[in-house]
């Protein structure tokens, strides 16, 4: 039988937990891990896309002023940080399968929270840094007459690998249902 968690002295924001059973509290933490993975990853993707998008807009303005055609290549670099959100979604969906098993969820709530946080942070920083590399790459392509695209893709691919490793390693940590 579940025992009641006593959380006296906390702000009103935490008062709903004052009457929450221990099992419900641990389930909440497990579910929080599930959603935080996607939330943090999406934040990183948005930051990365924003950085690269700003650089692309500046490069397009420079090309337009010079009377040159606008480079579509920048769109590729702007979009690359989006993949980390997909990696977190894959981890999140696998955690979801564990959440359907009450005993497994409660027994591994800390692990599931840790997997969610680790996934989210790994993907956030991977996407953010990828956007920074993309922004620098767009400026380099704009100033260098379009030379060096392959090297920029390789650099962005290296940081993409961190996101892939995060996904793969965290998938391996999810308890089997």
Q: Could you please report the per-residue DSSP string of 83-135?
A: HHHHHHHHHHHHHHHHHTSHHHHHHTHHHHHHHHHHHHHHHHHHHHHHHHHHH
Looking at residue 21, what is its pLDDT?
Answer: 82
Looking at residue 84, what is its pLDDT?
Answer: 98
The helix or strand, by DSSP H or E, that contains position 145, with its residue range, turns out to be none
The pTM (predicted TM-score) of the whole model is: 0.84
Fold of 30-173: 1.20.120
Looking at residue 146, what is its pLDDT?
Answer: 87
pLDDT tens, the chain, 177 aa long: 444 444 444 455 555 555 568 889 999 999 999 999 999 999 999 999 999 999 999 999 999 999 999 999 999 999 999 999 999 999 999 999 999 999 999 999 999 999 999 999 999 999 999 999 999 999 999 999 889 999 999 999 999 999 999 999 999 999 998
């Amino acid at each position: 039988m579940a025992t009641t968690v006593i959380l006296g002295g906390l702000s009103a924001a935490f008062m709903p937990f004052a009457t929450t059973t221990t099992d419900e509290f641990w389930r909440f933490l497990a579910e929080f891990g599930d959603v935080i993975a996607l939330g943090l990853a999406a934040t990183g993707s948005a930051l990365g896309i924003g950085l690269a998008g700003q650089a692309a807009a500046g490069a397009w303005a420079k090309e337009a002023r010079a009377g040159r055609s606008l480079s579509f290549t920048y769109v590729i670099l702007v979009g690359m940080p989006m993949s980390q959100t997909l990696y977190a979604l894959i981890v999140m969906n696998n955690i979801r399968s564990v959440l359907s098993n009450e005993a497994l969820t409660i027994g591994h709530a800390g692990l599931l929270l840790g997997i969610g946080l680790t996934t989210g942070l790994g993907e956030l920083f991977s996407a953010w840094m990828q956007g920074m590399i993309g922004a620098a790459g767009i400026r380099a392509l704009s100033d260098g007459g379009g030379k060096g695209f392959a090297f920029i893709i390789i650099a962005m691919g290296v940081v993409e690998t961190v996101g892939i490793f995060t996904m793969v390693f965290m998938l391996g940590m999810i308890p089997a249902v």
